[in-house]
Amino acid sequence: MTHHAAPAIRSAPVHPHHHSGLNALPALPHTAPHATPDASDTPGTPETPVAPVAADASTAGEHPPTPASPVAAIAVPSFTALGLGTGLAEAAEAAGWTTPTLVQVQAIPAVLKGRDLLGLAPTGTGKTAAYLLPLLQRLLDVPGILSERPRRMQVLILAPTRELAAQIFEVAHQLAPQLKTVVAVGGVSINPQMMALRGGAHVVVATPGRLLDLQGHNALRLDDVATLVLDEADRLLDLGFADELVQILDALPEPHQTLLLSATMPEDVTLMADDVLRDAAYVDARNGDAAIASVKQRAILVDTARRTTLLRHLITTENWDRVLVFVASQYASEHVAEKLRRAGLKAASLHGDLSQGRRSQVLADLNAHRLTVLVATDIAARGIDVPDLAVVVNHDLPRSATDYTHRIGRTGRADASGQAISFICADAPGSEAHFRLIEKRQQQRVPREHIDGFVPTAPPVEVIADVTGGIKGKRKSKKDKLREAAAASSATTPGGHQR
């Protein structure tokens, strides 16, 4: 793939940038932010908490930012100072969004300037707003864009799950209803989406497979795309979308701006960033995974066969009004939910084989407090925002520390407190060792607990596993990185592929 200068949104003035490689990701310069002529205060997203910004909110120089020692807090810049306009500000204020978060302070000026972006931020920190706000502002600044027919798709946002795509669409439509935004996901009929794309669209939010389906039906063209957003890039690769991403990237015009956002930075995301980003601003708002600092983590030892009974006990004795329970498979999701229903609890399952309508309904029921327990596979770990969800339970441990971060990130959002409980099977070889590896990657130790009446009857399994974190292989060459990632994903990812 040959990369050129990142463009402005089509019809806006183009400001070429020289593209250097991303061997060392450049940081966002600590300079006065770009401003549009009618700038004023503008918002965050529904997932945006009001957060204080430390003095190192914007980093300077050409090196990736590193955690700084404690410094005195400074005033949070307004959205006006970050370069957004009055109309967008008023729409955001009407939605209840007021103060920029750390990732927004860092990212918005860079995106407004047309730079590529590598944005690392935990769940619940407002990273959706960090790219949507400046992109919508740039579109609104294009002369004649609202009257132009047919509309040209200038912003393409790819998301790994239908739920995340739907939420991004809702935020974009709420902020700028005068722009036409279309969401395109699998699991539902393609015909209404083809109808929605008649006359074009300014912004398309899609899962990769369905986007390629629509392109194959000649329902959309990618010729005018000025900005590509890869939201939850680590999950896009983890779910086996690397090959589809190659096809989409090959179909995009050059030059185009690329924004890559992720809560974690595994090796495959690093390789993707090296390959697709040029002259990128580097934004790291993880702050040592501070987003999970508001989550009280617990680890309870229990016999494998008694986990669901213990779950019922905790729901009752600790008065949980809603809880999100993670399991390892579709079968476990259905099985655990059914056992809870038989015990008189309002429970439902959520997994990839449910229809889109059913998935939307169970999420709506949980949000409306019509459900007490939602038993989900990792499909629910990203892109789902359940306001005021206080408890997450790992009935089955996640397969990686990355998945653990995203699971427990469903609680403790927007500065609220929450708790994440993991069941460690005392009678299962490898359960304790696996959780120790998660602790090692998280750089913390979670005390083990016993619950009266549920003390394991089996003797503890001796931990003999090596928890040093494994051995990394030889770094791949840049050639065909994404295709190699696709092969790796297909070899390790069991099902769950969403179109």
- Alpha helices, DSSP H only, in 84-148? 86-94, 102-112, 127-140
Query: How many other C-beta atoms can be found within 10 angstroms of the C-beta atom of residue 365?
Result: 15
Query: How many other C-beta atoms can be found within 10 angstroms of the C-beta atom of residue 145?
Result: 20
Q: What is the rounded distance in angstroms from the CA atom of residue 17 to the CA atom of residue 22? A: 14
My answer on whether 261 and 298 are in the same domain is no
pTM confidence score: 0.66
Into how many domains does the chain fold?
2
Cα-flanking dihedrals φ and ψ of residue 21, to 5°? -70, 175
My answer on whether 84 and 138 are in the same domain is yes
**Does residue 426 have a pLDDT over 90?**
yes
Q: What average pLDDT does the segment 228-254 reach?
A: 90
My answer on whether 390 and 272 are in the same domain is no
Characterise 176 by phi-psi region: left (phi > 0), alpha (psi -120 to 50), beta (else).
beta
My answer on whether 270 and 228 are in the same domain is yes
My answer on whether 204 and 180 are in the same domain is yes
Query: Is 462 a domain residue?
Result: no
pLDDT of residue 356: 78
My answer on whether 271 and 136 are in the same domain is yes
CA dihedral of residues 11, 17, 19, 24 (deg, nearest 10): -120
Query: How many other C-beta atoms can be found within 10 angstroms of the C-beta atom of residue 25?
Result: 21
Nearest residue to 183 (alpha-carbon basis) of 152, 214, 144? 214
My answer on whether 316 and 404 are in the same domain is yes
Query: Is 463 a domain residue?
Result: no
Q: Do the beta carbons of residue 240 and residue 490 sit within 8 Å?
A: yes
The amino acid sitting at 449 is E
CA dihedral of residues 401, 388, 350, 357 (deg, nearest 10): -130
Q: Do the beta carbons of residue 49 and residue 140 sit within 8 Å?
A: no
**Does residue 259 have a pLDDT over 70?**
yes
Sign of CA dihedral 359, 153, 261, 402: positive
My answer on whether 122 and 209 are in the same domain is yes
My answer on whether 401 and 380 are in the same domain is yes
Q: What are the pLDDT digits (tens) for 83-135?
A: 999 889 788 777 667 888 888 888 999 999 999 999 987 767 778 889 999 99
**Does residue 489 have a pLDDT over 90?**
no
Domain that holds residue 141: 1-288+470-499
Helix (H, G, I), strand (E, B) or coil at 480: coil
My answer on whether 51 and 166 are in the same domain is yes
Cα-flanking dihedrals φ and ψ of residue 229, to 5°? -115, 125
CATH number, domain containing residue 107:
3.40.50.300
Q: What is the rounded distance in angstroms from the CA atom of residue 384 to the CA atom of residue 46? A: 11
pLDDT category at 11 given cuts 50, 70, 90 is: very low
pLDDT category at 481 given cuts 50, 70, 90 is: low
Residues contacting 428, CB < 8 A, separation 6+: 304, 461
Q: What are the pLDDT digits (tens) for 193-216?
A: 999 999 999 999 999 999 999 999
Q: Which residue did the predictor score with more confidence, 35 or 243?
A: 243
Residues contacting 227, CB < 8 A, separation 6+: 9, 135, 154, 155, 156, 256, 257, 258, 259
pLDDT of residue 17: 34
Query: How many other C-beta atoms can be found within 10 angstroms of the C-beta atom of residue 499?
Result: 17
Query: Is 78 a domain residue?
Result: yes
Q: Do the beta carbons of residue 51 and residue 290 sit within 8 Å?
A: no
Nearest residue to 362 (alpha-carbon basis) of 449, 377, 433? 377
Q: Do the beta carbons of residue 49 and residue 126 sit within 8 Å?
A: yes
Cα-flanking dihedrals φ and ψ of residue 137, to 5°? -60, -45
Q: Do the beta carbons of residue 224 and residue 151 sit within 8 Å?
A: no
Query: Is 464 a domain residue?
Result: no
CA dihedral of residues 88, 260, 119, 130 (deg, nearest 10): 10
Q: What is the rounded distance in angstroms from the CA atom of residue 43 to the CA atom of residue 62? A: 28
My answer on whether 301 and 444 are in the same domain is yes
Q: What is the rounded distance in angstroms from the CA atom of residue 172 to the CA atom of residue 180? A: 9
Q: What average pLDDT does the segment 444-468 reach?
A: 76
My answer on whether 272 and 388 are in the same domain is no
